[in-house]
Chains A and B, each alone.
Chain A
């Protein structure tokens, strides 16, 4: 049964859901839009999506947990993602992850205590010519050695 409590949605998101409500195969597209807005899929918003689209919560979570791209918990302010494509792996992505774990004092898929950074290992981002690659938010940083990690993190915080 769909939840009965209502959650306010931003107008832009509400109208997107309304547009897609009756279109076949809408669920993944709607989840993308929710995540684009919040950075993850908040539980109350997911409930609201179910209510507005008549999609069962089991179906929504079935999809949300199947795909790597969707997060069910909030990421840090900056998302640090180490590319784990093969080219990056061969060129030392493992050492980069290790360095980042130490610098940030956080495990892979974790968020730092101050909520500033989340650390992830991600699938090939398609910049193999620049391997190894770390993405910080939407920016690609290529040909990065462990010695460049500190400067990269400092730069993030300077720009805040």
Chain B
């Protein structure tokens, strides 16, 4: 029995917050009442990414893309479209003019390449069968039965995959170090403590495709010789936690997790550990402290966690987005993956495009795409006819990129050269009305709050910079104050213990570099 059409309701957090659940229920009830249960499958999926237009309902195979749907619209979708086969014109997304735009033609999706988000918006994240139907667990099967751990590392090396959590370290190397470490017990940890304000890709993957993370963790375990994994996830993401827990249960029931996976003799179990709201826990050594149930304070590296990590044992820590790439790399090959992206940065990157932008949402683009493409083609430009001023990437650790660099192809290296960084993928667009001094102060306020207090440069330096920014925000800063910020910033970058302190001055320094005139008036120069 096959369905003739599919009605996909976005169950991402943004749409859920706008009654997507009620819409889904009403469509289900309507389909039942109309007696077309055998013809139409209604699915609540993960995030479609186009959050600006939510709640979204998509009908296949017609590709009708309904936006800003309300629970009251459910009835028309059922009686008009699903029963009579006529699209509900008033709900259709319109790009330009009056013609309805089918989902395949929407500019927001045109330049996107979806590897990490391959299943988000397609499958029911609470049904492992749907994940399997879209080539889920093909990678794991290949790993367990047709590859040695060394083969897997070679494949990862060929792919060129680098960590998507911010650092951009080679995933193959990380796994290799852990594999080479000799110990009876090793661990795999998935970093899902997405603390960067303005980034929510990990949340969407966990909510929309939790199985891909579990599959990747098993592959990692098999490769390095670990039999235990932890997913460290923010407590602020209850839906993600629930779906992940559900996915673990389903995977265990089907022999895809737990004892003797797929009859291979390899066993691997996964537990969830909750974060509790500490940005510094995104730093891997602090994260491990937190998994151990302690205060999340970073420790000096080396030794790196790959050699001495959780409870002193070799531990691979990968972030959600990195892991989501791995099953696909094994299925399609490292060579295939390496053809996407730029010379130094292979594959795609997921960005949360937000702020002063027409199409805010979650996008996945090949590395090497320009900011102009992202902001003006995918993002649809700046609202209300305002001028673009800057975009902040890398969150509180990153910097501002200005209009003159809009055509730079972006990857790990180019962003660093521009005084920013890839970070976890927040991309916050600012228009002509936004004060760069205020934005820098906002970020410093954040890192001052989140500094764990262990090392002096971060604890005191951050506060000093914040105070000086406050002086500038009030219009009282002097050239001397400006130079003081630069001096303290330079010290913090070289002498802080962990990544948080080393990068905390970036928003201030880059705003001074690009928008010096906002700091100093003619009298204060």
Contacts and interface: CB of A to CB of B under 8 A. Distances in A.
A128 B235 CA distance: 18
B285 to A, nearest CB: 15
B511 to A, nearest CB: 14
Contacts of B430: 90
Contact of A123 (B236, B295, B428): B236
B292 interface: yes
A63 B18 contact: no
Contacts of A66: 278, 295-296, 452
A123 B277 contact: yes
A133 to B, nearest CB: 8
Interface string B434-451: 100001001100100000
B14 A28 contact: no
A74 interface: no
A131 B290 CA distance: 30
24 contacts: A24-B293, A25-B273, A25-B293, A27-B294, A28-B273, A29-B273, A32-B276, A63-B295, A66-B296, A66-B452, A67-B277, A68-B278, A86-B355, A86-B392, A87-B360, A87-B428, A91-B356, A124-B196, A124-B198, A128-B198, A128-B199, A128-B360, A138-B238, A142-B17
B293 A126 contact: no
B276 A68 contact: yes
Interface string A40-78: 000000000000000000010011001111100000000
A67 B290 CA distance: 10
Interface in A17-39: 24-29, 31-32
Interface in B319-358: 352, 354-356
Nearest to A128: B354
B360 A90 contact: no
A88 to B, nearest CB: 8
Interface in B271-292: 273-279, 290-292
B85 interface: no
Contacts of B16: 140
B294 A63 contact: yes
Contacts of A84: 197, 446
Contacts of A67: 275-278, 296
A131 B356 CA distance: 10
Interface string B286-326: 00001111111000000000000001000000000000000
A68 B355 contact: no
A47 B360 CA distance: 47
A123 B195 contact: yes
Contacts of A62: 295
Given A31-B276, A86-B395, A24 B51 contact: no
B203 interface: yes
A28 B18 contact: no
A114 to B, nearest CB: 27
Given A26-B293, A62-B295, A129-B360, 17 more contacts: A25-B292, A29-B274, A29-B293, A66-B278, A66-B452, A67-B278, A70-B276, A84-B446, A86-B198, A86-B354, A86-B443, A87-B197, A87-B360, A90-B356, A125-B236, A128-B198, A130-B18
B361 interface: yes
Interface in B8-23: 13-14, 16-18
Nearest to A66: B295
B211 interface: no
Contacts of A85: 197-198
Nearest to A65: B295
A141 interface: yes
A27 B199 contact: no
Contacts of A12: none
B200 interface: yes
Interface in B183-205: 194-200, 203
A127 B204 CA distance: 10
A89 B435 CA distance: 12
Interface of B: 13-14, 16-18, 51-52, 54, 194-200, 203, 235-238, 273-279, 290-296, 311, 352, 354-356, 360-362, 392, 395, 426, 428, 430, 434, 439, 442-443, 446, 452
Contacts of B51: 127-130
Given A26-B293, A27-B293, A66-B295, A129 B52 contact: yes
Nearest to B52: A129
Interface residues of A, number: 39
B296 A124 contact: no
B325 to A, nearest CB: 21
A123 B198 CA distance: 10
Contacts of B203: 126
B362 to A, nearest CB: 8
A128 B354 CA distance: 6
Q: Considering the complex of A and B, which 7 residue pairs feature the smallest CB-CB distances, nearest first?
A: A129-B51, A68-B277, A140-B17, A67-B276, A126-B200, A87-B354, A124-B197
A91 B426 CA distance: 16
A106 to B, nearest CB: 20
Contacts of B296: 66-67
A119 to B, nearest CB: 17
B278 A126 contact: no
B243 to A, nearest CB: 14
A142 B18 contact: yes
Contact of B13 (A25, A127, A141): A127
A31 B274 CA distance: 10
Given A68-B278, A90-B434, A28 B290 contact: yes
B235 A32 contact: yes
A160 interface: no
A124 B14 contact: no
Contacts of B290: 28
B354 A126 contact: no
Contacts of A70: 276
Nearest to B433: A90
Given A28-B290, A86-B442, A126 B276 contact: no
